[in-house]
């Protein structure tokens, strides 16, 4: 396992050299003033560590070539397309299988600059999860992973390793993998949910208290949640490319898509729990608590689509009496919440099914109306009066300019919770399972 390499001299040299090299990089990844000796140190360390990763032999050889070509070209804007094309962690997934990852990249919810990063990671692929993927929730691109060590771009809130973030000369025709750090997801879930329960004086069921005390159980809940969530992006009655990652659209559409996938995972978890899968009950608590507590108060208020999804779920449950805020105490009727999360999921599915027959802008307006049913839009919103205020003679992508940065502001409840919980959320920066076990 790569955890055993954390103190390997070659890894320490690699990590230190990458860290020093990053100090010479520009936001676009170029580093024309960096000492070439740092690149040679990085190449030497990668070569020394490569024998520990025979399954990544072609990838690590390509990394060496990309580093050498970058140095020969004067360390301008990097291009690691060749090595990215050789990295296939989704092939032959195995519990505990390690990877050494070296790429110039940005980190989602972390560092926006294109800096060189180095990671030691290993896969989380228990037999029960592999069986579910093979027989029920096919998702050949999904790779749940854990940290062993990392450079500064991951000393952040980033919990994903995606090929889309790597600096390349051209976008590949397709991607074959996506990594999600279940240990970071679980660790921050435990810290934030526990703090939220204390702040809100929420009386947790015994099984929920036991879950929050157990890092390993939380990691298993997140790998199951992520497996189902990730595949849901391409399943169901959907318009083409529902997440529209390469298209420009109002951010509430991303929020609805992410929430749809989470509510699908929740619904499947209810079914799996009825069938006796131990991890499935935990998934239900994970979805509810992460969505209700962490998502709405994390990040800034500029087109925060994950935050919007959490606000929407809370408002739906609150309006239907599954969640109550009375006498400065939060109560949750978990049985009713299970029923209502399924019902909200069905409402969003109907929205998608109807969207197949709608023009794009009409679908966007319908999405705003769906969210506005439960959340008050900003009083200055043009989209809240779309038929009166929007100029439909311009291309749809230009209408996105009329979306306010905070189209659906936080409620008074969440404004207060953000102040009380914000420090806890920020304290999870860079957290891993090793820090909370």
For the stretch 305-331, pLDDT in tens is 999 999 999 999 999 999 999 999 999
For the stretch 44-102, pLDDT in tens is 999 999 999 999 999 999 999 999 999 999 999 999 999 999 999 999 999 999 999 99
- Strand segments, DSSP code E, in 239-381 are 323-326, 329-332
Q: What is the model's pTM?
A: 0.95
Average pLDDT over residues 5-23: 97
Q: Note the pLDDT of residue 46.
A: 98
The rounded Cα 127 to chain-centroid distance in angstroms is 24
For the stretch 155-198, pLDDT in tens is 999 999 999 999 999 999 889 999 999 999 999 999 999 999 99
Pairing of strands 142-150, 178-181: parallel
Torsion of CA 425, 430, 434, 436, to 10 degrees: -10
Pairing of strands 329-332, 178-181: unpaired
The answer to whether residues 301 and 409 touch, using CB atoms and an 8 Å cutoff, is yes
The angle formed by the CA atoms of residues 346, 351 and 355, to the nearest 5 degrees, is 145
């Amino acid at each position: 396992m790569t955890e055993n390499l954390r103190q390997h001299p070659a890894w320490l040299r690699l990590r230190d050299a990458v860290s020093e090299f990053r100090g010479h990089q520009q936001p676009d990844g170029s580093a024309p003033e960096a000492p070439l000796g740092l690149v040679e140190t990085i190449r030497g360390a990668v070569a020394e560590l490569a024998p520990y990763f025979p399954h990544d032999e072609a990838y690590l050889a390509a990394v060496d070539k990309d580093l050498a070509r970058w140095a020969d070209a004067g360390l301008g804007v990097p291009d690691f397309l060749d090595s990215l094309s050789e990295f296939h962690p989704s092939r032959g997934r195995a519990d505990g299988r390690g990877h050494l990852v070296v790429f110039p990249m940005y980190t989602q919810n972390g560092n926006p600059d294109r800096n060189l990063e180095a990671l030691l990671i290993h896969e989380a692929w228990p037999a029960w999860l592999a069986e579910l993927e093979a027989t029920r929730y096919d998702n050949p691109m999904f790779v749940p992973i854990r940290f062993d060590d990392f450079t500064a771009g991951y000393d952040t809130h980033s919990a994903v390793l995606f090929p889309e973030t790597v600096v390349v000369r051209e976008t590949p025709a397709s991607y074959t993998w996506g990594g999600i750090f279940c240990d970071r997801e679980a660790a921050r879930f435990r810290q934030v949910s526990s703090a939220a329960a204390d702040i809100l004086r929420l009386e947790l069921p015994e099984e929920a208290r036991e879950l929050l005390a157990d890092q390993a159980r939380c990691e298993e809940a997140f790998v199951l949640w992520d497996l189902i969530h990730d595949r849901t992006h391409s399943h169901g009655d959907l318009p083409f490319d529902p997440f529209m990652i390469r298209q420009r659209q109002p951010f509430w559409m991303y929020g609805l898509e992410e929430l749809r996938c989470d509510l699908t995972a929740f619904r499947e978890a209810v079914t799996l729990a009825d069938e006796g899968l131990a991890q499935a009950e935990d998934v239900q608590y994970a979805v509810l608590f992460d969505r209700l507590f962490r998502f709405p108060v994390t990040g800034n208020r500029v087109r925060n689509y994950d935050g919007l999804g959490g606000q929407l779920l809370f408002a739906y449950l609150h309006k239907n009496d599954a969640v109550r805020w009375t006498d400065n105490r939060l109560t949750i009727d978990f049985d009713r919440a299970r029923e209502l999360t399924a019902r909200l999921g069905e409402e969003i599915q109907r929205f998608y099914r109807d969207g197949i027959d709608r023009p794009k802008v009409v679908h966007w307006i319908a999405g705003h109306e769906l969210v506005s049913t439960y959340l008050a839009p900003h009083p200055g919103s043009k989209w809240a009066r779309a038929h009166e205020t929007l100029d439909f003679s311009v291309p749809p992508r230009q209408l996105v300019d009329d979306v306010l940065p905070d189209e659906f502001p936080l409620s008074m409840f969440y404004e207060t919770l953000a102040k009380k919980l914000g420090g806890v959320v920020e304290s999870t920066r860079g957290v891993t399972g090793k820090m909370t076990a």
